């Protein structure tokens, strides 16, 4: 069976996240999702996530297309995570295009098109203005 691994924060879960995960799952037959810890998110996005790691892991692991989740503690550990989870394919959104090509020695690396105009930041701004 073909094991697919992807990574993300998945804060304030939205349809862009769902579409990415559904298409990631179609790249193989077992989908494993590395979810950024609160700390890692803080360093990437310069703000605290709305939902904490436990909540984000619970939401993502509840999806039909997701088989397994784990906490991603550092961007530097990607190679280790891919080996540990025996990834056949690494999937990322195309906002990361080219950034993970270095792992093509251990798995296929595929970048999928993002859903336009949807983001956690846009959603937070929308709620703020209600």
User: Which residues sit at the interface with ligand C2G, rule CB under 6 A?
Assistant: 7-10, 16-17, 20, 36, 44, 72, 75, 92-93, 95, 114-115, 118-119
Whose tokens are 């590395």? That residue is 34
CB of 129 to ligand C2G, least distance (A): 19
Minimum CB distance to ligand C2G smaller for 3 or for 56: 56
> Interior CA angle at 87 toward 52 and 8, to 5°?
25
Minimum CB distance to ligand C2G smaller for 7 or for 51: 7
> Interior CA angle at 122 toward 121 and 126, to 5°?
120
Integer distance in angstroms from the first to the last C-alpha of the chain? 46
CB of 51 to ligand C2G, least distance (A): 11
């Amino acid at each position: 069976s073909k094991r697919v691994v992807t990574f993300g924060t998945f804060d304030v879960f939205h349809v862009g996240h769902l579409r990415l995960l559904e298409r990631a799952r179609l790249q193989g037959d077992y989908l494993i999702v590395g979810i950024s810890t609160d700390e890692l998110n803080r360093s990437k996005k310069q703000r605290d996530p709305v939902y904490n790691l436990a909540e984000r892991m619970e939401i993502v692991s509840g999806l039909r297309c997701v088989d397994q989740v784990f906490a991603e503690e550092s961007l530097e550990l990607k190679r280790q995570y891919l080996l540990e989870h025996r990834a056949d394919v690494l999937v990322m959104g195309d906002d990361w295009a080219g950034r993970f090509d270095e792992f093509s020695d251990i798995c296929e690396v595929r970048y999928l098109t993002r859903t336009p105009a949807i983001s956690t930041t846009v959603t937070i701004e929308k709620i703020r203005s209600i």
